[in-house]
């Protein structure tokens, strides 16, 4: 059994992973309750952040252990020393930590001899997208997979591929749903699909993956695990928005060529890089029927895009 878990990162996703690990009914097995900790730079700041996170009560926050380290400034050896006491490390710190951070964490996990590892790969199918994509940050994700796939490594791992956060579809900065302008802009084509999952559901599914198999004989098989809340074409997204608003919306398409031109004009704008990748439609969507959470019949079922939009509109 996994007895000692460390989560790296306590943001939008990390807080949900912590919450669901703490609340999982199988966290206690054979009268042993798994310890859940979080790696932080400042305990006071992180506690305040967690107390403000949805679903995390004061009692739950008080049950979390705090391990102090800085994944950006620490050396591989220093980080490995912080990770060494743990059976499982779950990285929930994204690209915001800066280039090289994900590979550093992977190296430190291996150096520390951690038995199980879930890296920050809560996103698209990086293997299918491949190297040299418009989003250059994705190449580091493949570097992490190369490290993990080395045959002589003792750490067992699982990549939990979740697609995009559902909320991103409706963020003004992402440019897909423009509610004031009553416009939906499809990336690549109206028929293109995207898989999305809410952070809450990712936390729930991740905790279930960790605790549903105490022996880990059916989990941590050194391969990606695909999960999802919804897989939706942009034309279906437009229909959902129309239904909720009770009025028609304009459908537009941002082609890959247009997105590439935008990137040429504004090469530092990461949004254009994402628009190209999602517009190409490779490795960004998978059938829900094939996902781990649907096959396992996890309840409550993960939230669909329509359910998310209805709840957000209330």
- Domain extent at residue 74: 4-163+197-228+283-295
Q: Are strands 164-165 and 35-40 parallel, antiparallel or unpaired?
A: unpaired
Distance CA 65, CA 214 (A): 22
Output the tens digit of pLDDT for each of the chain's 314 residues: 799 999 999 999 999 999 999 999 999 998 999 999 999 887 777 888 888 888 889 999 999 999 999 999 999 999 999 999 999 999 999 888 788 999 999 999 999 999 999 999 999 999 999 999 999 999 999 999 999 998 677 899 999 999 999 999 999 999 999 999 999 999 999 999 999 999 999 999 999 999 999 888 899 999 999 999 999 999 999 999 999 999 999 999 999 999 999 999 999 999 999 999 999 999 999 999 999 999 999 999 999 999 999 999 87
Indicate whether 47 belongs to any domain.
yes
Q: Which two tokens stand for residue 123?
A: 């996103």
Number of structural domains the chain divides into = 1
In degrees rounded to 5, what are phi and psi of residue 251? -100, 125
Indicate whether 40 belongs to any domain.
yes
Q: What is the CATH number of the domain that holds 62?
A: 3.40.50.720
| Max Cα-Cα span within the chain | 60
Indicate whether 55 belongs to any domain.
yes
Indicate whether 241 belongs to any domain.
no
- Integer distance in angstroms from the first to the last C-alpha of the chain? 42
Indicate whether 152 belongs to any domain.
yes
pTM of the model: 0.96
Indicate whether 185 belongs to any domain.
no
Indicate whether 139 belongs to any domain.
yes
Indicate whether 204 belongs to any domain.
yes
- Burial grade of 230 (CB within 10 A; 0-12, 13-18, 19 or more): buried
């Amino acid at each position: 059994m996994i007895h000692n878990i460390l989560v790296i990162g306590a943001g939008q996703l990390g807080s949900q992973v912590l919450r669901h690990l703490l609340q999982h009914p199988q966290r206690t097995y054979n009268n042993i309750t798994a310890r859940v900790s979080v790696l932080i730079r400042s305990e006071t700041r992180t506690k305040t952040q967690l107390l403000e996170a949805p679903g995390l009560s004061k009692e739950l926050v008080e049950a979390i252990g705090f391990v102090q380290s800085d994944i950006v400034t620490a050396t591989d050896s220093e980080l490995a020393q912080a990770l060494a006491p743990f059976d499982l490390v779950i990285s929930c710190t994204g690209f915001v930590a800066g280039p090289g951070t994900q590979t550093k964490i992977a190296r430190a996990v291996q150096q520390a001899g951690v038995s199980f590892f879930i890296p920050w790969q809560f996103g698209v199918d990086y293997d299918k997208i491949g190297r040299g994509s418009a989003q250059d940050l994705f190449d580091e994700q493949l570097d992490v997979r190369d490290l993990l796939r080395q045959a002589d490594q003792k750490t067992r791992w699982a990549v939990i591929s979740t697609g995009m956060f559902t909320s991103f579809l409706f963020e003004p900065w992402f440019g897909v749903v423009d509610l004031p302008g009553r416009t939906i802009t499809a990336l690549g084509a109206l028929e293109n699909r995207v898989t999305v999952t809410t952070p809450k559901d990712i936390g729930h599914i991740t905790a279930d993956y960790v605790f549903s198999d105490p022996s880990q004989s059916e989990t941590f098989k050194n391969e990606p695990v695909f999960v999802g809340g919804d897989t939706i074409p942009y034309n279906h997204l437009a229909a959902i928005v129309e239904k909720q608003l009770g009025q028609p919306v304009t459908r537009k398409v941002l082609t890959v060529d247009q997105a590439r031109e935008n990137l040429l004009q504004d090469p530092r704008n990461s949004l254009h890089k994402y628009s190209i990748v999602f517009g190409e439609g490779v490795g960004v969507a998978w059938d829900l029927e094939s996902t781990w959470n649907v096959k396992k019949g996890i309840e409550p079922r993960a939230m669909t895009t329509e359910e998310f939009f209805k709840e957000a509109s209330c």
